[in-house]
Amino acid sequence: MNDLERIERIKAVLGERAAEITNPSPQRIFLTVPARTLVPALEQLKTELGYRHLSTISGVDLGDVFEILYHFGYDGGNLNIRTRIPKADPRLPSICAVIPGAVLYERELQDMFGIIVEAIPDGRRLVLPDDWPDGNYPLRKDWKHVRAAEKIPGGKS
Amino acid sequence: MKFQIPIGPQHPALKEPISLRMTVEGEVIRDADLRLGYNHRGIEKLAEERTYLQNIYLTERICGICSHSHTTCFVQGVEALLEVVAPRRGQFLRYLVAELERVHSHLLWLGVAGHEAGFDSFFMYTWRDREVVMDILEMISGNRVHYAINTLGGVRRDIDEALRTKILDSLGILRARTDYYFKLGANEPSFVGRLAGVGRLSKEDALALCAVGPTARASGVAHDVRRDDPYGIYGEIPFEVCTADSCDVLGRTVVRIKELGQSYNIIEYLLRNLPDGPVAVKAPRRAKPGEVVSRDEAPRGENIHYIKANGSDKPERLKVRAPTLANYAATLARLKNGFIADIPLIFAAIDPCICCAERTVELIDGRSGRPTVVRWSDLRRRAARRAGRVSKKRNVECPL
Amino acid sequence: MSALKTLLYVFVYPGLVFMFVYSTFCEWFDRKVYARLQNRMGPTHTGRWGLLQPVADFFKLMAKEDIVPEKADKTMFTLLPIFGLAVVATAMLLLPVWHFNPAAGGFNSFSGDIIVLLYLLSLPTIIFFLAAWSSTNVFSTVGGTRVLTMFFGYEVPLFLAVLSPALLAGSWRLAEIARFFQAKPVLLLVNLPGFIVAVICVQAKLERTPFDIPHAETEIVGGTFTEFSGKKLAFFRLMTDVEMVVSSGLLATVFLGGFPGGLVLGFLQFIVKTLFVIFLLSLLRAATSRIRVDQVVSFAWGYLAPLAVVQLFFVILLKGFVL
């Protein structure tokens, strides 16, 4: 099955949920799906077309919106499902019900971008330390770290 | 009586910091929990402030074992963004180093598995033979760990005829030793008794939890990026994807030993068909706005980089997902209802590379506990200061 | 005069000094053999061929800071290493190599000394368990329960295996058992299965691979010894070494025909035979991987105990019908 056939089948299955579908280079398909219909779309892709291997979830800060990419691997290439959520109200549905292996990537999104993943089975912090101050999301573009003055314990202060 | 056993962040079974909390009842584990983040260095954020060329060396430092697979993944993606194609000889050498790295990583893993199972002789022997590969890598690239051989548009060093023959000769030794390990690993009763049936991961679970690499392949999932999503010259190289159906640690061992054999075949193919020509072409510094998803098969499984360019010489976003992170979920599921004695084996069976899995944000100042981002110039200054302090003794033989 | 002799006996030979020298030598031998089998050099640095390495390790540990955990039972924690060393040192005096007139009895050669020796060799296991338990560390506790679980596996086969030569010789005295086999060396072959069982059980008793489960470092850190440091750890290490010498001496006495030939020759035989047993133990250690504690118990009761019982029956039949 080549890329074009795959695109046709995805279009046929998803109907108008597939807002935009491109094929910028061989073996790579980019598909845009609105965040509302993300979970049912993934469910359909999984059950009807067999896209079940989630490689990872990438988040990108585009200024006013977050772009979330779900990278799926299949036999012969890579399907990237793109969805956008506003930065002012960063809510994203959890896809763990469909893809159980996604939980660590969603936790990482929560830590790094401050995206609220709704209905995530395990929403604790994953990579940031426990005493990390709230409201600091390191991979947001407007986050700059201010270096604290070095303090030597036991030294003169 | 239930009590909690902390495995990590510092524990003899773990070579890198990670924290596993085991709730045990006698010798049986009832619950397992995972805590990451002890090894965060802020590489993804840092990459946004580095040029593409600098980022090659940054991605190399994501991991100390599969360093080449990360740069390969990154360089492949950036080459696509920059619209350059590496010359064929350069590509052959790039994937030659990649396969040598797989050999070294799998031999290392065999040793670690032996050590975790208390079979130190196996550990000593596999690591002795790993030195053969390490020597080859050193001769090709000048380094044992961070080969730094990839560059945008090809590789940085060429190999000559003498080295080519030498590598081909070494393959004979490695093949013989690997056969011996296969015999040993599959026949020594106490070792097999420890590995067989331990850490079962069914095919369904492996698929559902998105396991990758040898972990998935030992559960009968024939995923291999080299075949599924051929990159570089892998489309033209004949090789098999090794799988096992036993779904346990023994299966993962067998898969890795079989993959060693496949890697030797690939190395031989690459060296026998090595084309002439340049090893690199000049690459532009700036990339047009665009995005690329690059995948490669690291020794531990699928490695994926997502790179977004914004028109400057620095990436807008670099997302790295190393194979270990993909396998954590599957590991935790397998630990439950196992024995304490099996923790190190099950955990080691995914070949965890913790610094790979944790690369993202911060450097935590150990003394004050405050997060700090160390700047490049700062690091350089620190290094210079340190070097200044060390007394200048050159060519001194180190006493054993 | 006799008081001086006793003092010499207890403190110099075959008492503390000799015990220290020989057990450290045996540790060196074990480490060197193990290392060579693994294609390593082993100790090379301290002394000729690294001979003094175990001694150096001992003194280094003696000089280290001695930490007692706050929640530990301090009396037990402090006393157990010393008590353990005393137990194995006493056991060493019972080996039939230092008394040259086998007919004469004495405080270290009497009827039933084989039982006493086996009892003294069982005590270290209990001491390890108590040490682990009193240090109240999670890893130690797990290690301690593993010590006891294993103990129920290997102890019975060991007793059965060691008692069958005693039955064949018809004596409960080590010197007499050895003398019996010296007279009829062919009968040593009868005990070969028992010897195999006993070597495996001694390996388990000494907690060496494949039975190093109570202090499996990759699973439970230091296991039994997690909280021990400094002098106490040094004592425990020395205790394990002495235990190795005593148990290989016991096996050499009952399975390899003891140490005849008086002062010099007997002593040489002692060295050669114990080193042979230690060599077997090292070989076993290098060739296997650690097994799980449940596998130890099922292996001990599934294979070792039946083999030892068969050996015992064979000896009884042999004694009843042939001899």
- C239-259 per-position pLDDT tens digit: 999 999 999 999 988 888 878
Question: CA-to-CA distance for C248 and C254, rounded, in angstroms?
Answer: 10
pLDDT, position C276: 92
CA angle B82, A75, B326 (to 5 degrees): 80
CA distance C289 to chain B (A): 4
CA-based nearest distance B5→chain C, Å: 7
- Beta strand segments in chain C, E: none
Is the pLDDT at C279 greater than 90? The verdict is yes
Provide the Cα torsion B249, B250, B251, B255; round to 10°: 100
Per residue in C48-101, pLDDT tens? 888 999 999 999 999 988 888 888 888 888 889 999 989 998 888 888 876 656
Mean pLDDT of chain B: 82
Name the nearest CA neighbour of B110 among B399, B349, B332, B390: B349
CB contacts < 8 A, A to B, total: 123
CB atoms within 10 A of CB A47: 12
* Chain B residues within 8 A of A132 when measuring between CB atoms: 371
Cβ distance C38 to B120 less than 8 Å, yes or no, reads yes
Q: Give the domain ranges of chain A.
A: 3-89
CB C234 within 8 A of CB C77: no
Residues 6+ apart with CB under 8 A from C11: C17
Contact B191 C213 (CB under 8 A): no
Residue B388: per-residue pLDDT: 59
Place of tokens 């390969």: B72
Interface with chain B: mutation pick from A128, A144, A150, A157, highest number of B CBs within 10 Å: A128
- Which pair of tokens denotes residue B204? 């369904």
Ordered by start, the domain boundaries in chain C are: 69-321
* pLDDT score, position B355: 65
Please indicate whether residue C263 or residue B396 has the higher confidence score (pLDDT).
C263
Tell me what the pLDDT averaged over chain C comes to: 86
Query: Using CA atoms, how far apart are residues C165 and C173, in angstroms rounded to an integer?
Result: 11
Give me Rg for the CA atoms of chain C.
Answer: 20
- Return the partners of chain A (3 or more C-beta pairs < 8 Å): B
- A73:B306 CB<8 A: no
Of the residues B209, B210, B374, the best mutation for testing chain A's interface (the one with the most A CB atoms within 10 Å of its CB) is B210
Flag whether pLDDT at B21 surpasses 90. no
User: Which residues make Cβ contacts (< 8 Å) with residue C293, sequence separation at least 6?
Assistant: B27, B341, C146, C149, C150, C213
Asked if the Cβ–Cβ distance from C216 to B341 is below 8 Å, we say: yes
Interface test mutation site (partner C, options B190, B253, B337, max chain C beta carbons within 10 A): B190
Write the residue in B6, B194, B340 that is nearest to C289 by C-beta. Answer: B194
Determine, for residues A101 and B37 on separate chains, whether the beta-carbon distance falls below 8 Å.
no
Contact criterion met (CB < 8 Å) for B191 and C138: no
State the pLDDT at residue C244: 92
Touching C (3+ Cβ pairs <8 A), the chains are: B
- Chain A partners within 8 Å of B329 (Cβ): 100-101, 103-104
Report the range out of B40-44, C65-69, C258-262 with the highest average pLDDT. C65-69
Q: What's the token pair of residue B350?
A: 């995914």
- pLDDT higher for C36 or A24? C36
pLDDT-based confidence at residue C32 (cuts at 50, 70, 90): very high
How far is A94 from A99, CA to CA, in rounded Å?
A: 9
CA atoms of C69 and C136, how far apart (whole Å): 8
Q: Is C209 on the interface with B (CB under 8 A)?
A: yes
Within 8 A of B24 by CB-CB distance, chain C residues are 142
The first and second tokens of residue B178, run together, are 């690997």
Interface test with B, best of A31, A43, A47, A58 (most B CBs within 10 A): A58
CB-based contact A78 B293, cutoff 8 Å: yes
pLDDT in tens, B161-177: 888 899 998 888 899 98
Q: Which of C99, C217, C198 is nearest to C157 (CA)?
A: C198
Return the number of CB contacts < 8 Å for B and C.
Answer: 85
Structure tokens at B293: 């998803």
Q: In this predicted structure, which of A4-13, B273-282, C200-209 has the lowest mean pLDDT?
A: A4-13
Highest mean pLDDT among A19-23, B178-182, B342-346, B380-384: B178-182
Nearest to C292 among B24, B115, B339 (CB): B339
pLDDT of residue B385: 66
What is the structure's pLDDT at C59?
A: 92
Q: Is the pLDDT of residue A22 over 50?
A: yes
Q: What's the pLDDT score for residue B368?
A: 41
Q: What is the CATH number of domain A3-89?
A: 3.30.460.80
Is the Cβ–Cβ distance between B341 and C289 less than 8 Å? no
* CA distance linking residue A115 with residue A129, whole number of Å: 17
- Does C118 lie at the interface with B, CB-CB under 8 angstroms? no
Residue B273 to chain A, least CA–CA distance (Å): 25
Does B42 score more than 70 pLDDT?
A: yes
Q: For chain B, which residues make up each domain, given as ranges?
A: 41-336
User: From the CA atom positions of chain A, what is the Rg in Å?
Assistant: 19
> Is residue C28 scored above 90 in pLDDT?
yes
- Separation in Å, CA of B117 to nearest CA in chain A: 28
pLDDT at B119 over 50: yes
Query: CA C234, CA C240: separation in Å to the nearest integer?
Result: 10
Touching pair C, B by Cβ (3+ pairs < 8 Å): yes
Sign, Cα dihedral of C301, C303, C308, C309: positive
Confidence of residue B360 (pLDDT cuts 50, 70, 90): very low
Place of tokens 């080691």: B348
pLDDT at B363: 37
Q: How far apart are CA B183 and CA A152, in angstroms?
A: 56
Judge whether C111 is closer than 8 Å to chain B, CB to CB. Answer: no
Q: Inter-chain contact A127–B40, Cβ cutoff 8 Å? A: yes
Residue B362: name the closest of B9, B37, B48 by CA.
B37
Q: How far is C222 from chain B (nearest CA, A)?
A: 9
Q: What is the pLDDT of residue B394?
A: 47
Contact in structure between C234 and C315 (CB atoms under 8 Å): no
The reply to whether residue B208 touches residue A100, judged by beta carbons under 8 angstroms, is yes
Backbone angles phi, psi at B319, to 5 degrees: -110, 130
Query: Which of B72-76, B366-370, C108-112 has maximum average pLDDT?
Result: B72-76
Overall average pLDDT of the B242-260 stretch: 87
Closest residue on chain B to A146 (Cα):
B372
Q: Which residue among A54, A71, A99 places its CB closest to the CB of B306?
A: A71
Query: Given this model, what pLDDT does residue C101 score?
Result: 60
Distance of CA B262 to CAs B168, B238, B265, Å?
15, 9, 5
| Residue C105, pLDDT score | 57
| Mean pLDDT on C265-288 | 89
Q: Residue C296 corresponds to which amino acid?
A: V
The overall longest dimension of chain B from CA atoms, in Å, is 69
Q: What residue in A sits closest to B80 (Cα-Cα)?
A: A25
Please write down the HEC assignment for all residues of B344-368. HHHHHHCCCCHHHHCCCCCEECCCC
pLDDT interval class at B357 (50, 70, 90): low
pLDDT at B371: 43
Residue-level pLDDT at B359? 59
Q: Is the pLDDT of residue B281 over 60?
A: yes
What 8-state DSSP symbol labels residue A27?
A: T
Interface of B to C at Cβ within 8 Å reads 3-6, 11-13, 24, 26-27, 114-122, 124-125, 128, 188, 190-191, 193-194, 339-344, 400
CATH number, domain B41-336: 1.10.645.10
Task: Tell how far CA C128 is from the center of its chain.
Answer: 14
Convert B117-153 to b/e letters by CB count within 10 Å (16 or more is b): bbbbbbbbbbbebbebbbebbeebbeeebebbbbbbb
Give strand ranges (E) for A48-139.
53-61, 65-74, 77-86, 91-93, 116-118
The reported pLDDT for the residue numbered C212 is 86
The model's pLDDT over A117-130, given as tens digits with 9 standing for 90+, comes to 888 888 787 887 77
Report the pLDDT value the prediction gives residue C94, as an integer from 0 to 100. Answer: 82
Does residue A114 surpass a pLDDT of 70?
Answer: yes
Q: What is the mean pLDDT of residues C128-146?
A: 87
Minimum CA–CA partner of B346 in chain C: C219
Q: Rounded CA gap, C135 and C294, in Å?
A: 24
Terminal Cα distance for chain C, rounded: 46
Put simply, the answer to whether B360 touches A139 (Cβ < 8 Å) is yes
Pairwise CB contact (< 8 Å): C219 & B340: yes
Tell me what the mean pLDDT of segment B115-120 comes to.
84
Q: What is the pLDDT of residues A51-64, one digit of tens each?
A: 888 888 888 888 88
**Range A65-92 average pLDDT:** 87
Q: What is the largest CA-CA distance in chain A?
A: 71
% residues pLDDT > 90 (chain B): 6
Q: Which residue in B55, B49, B51, B3 sits closest to B28, CA to CA?
A: B3
Of B262-266, C275-279, C292-296, C303-307, give the lowest mean pLDDT range: C292-296
DSSP assignment, residue B230? Answer: -
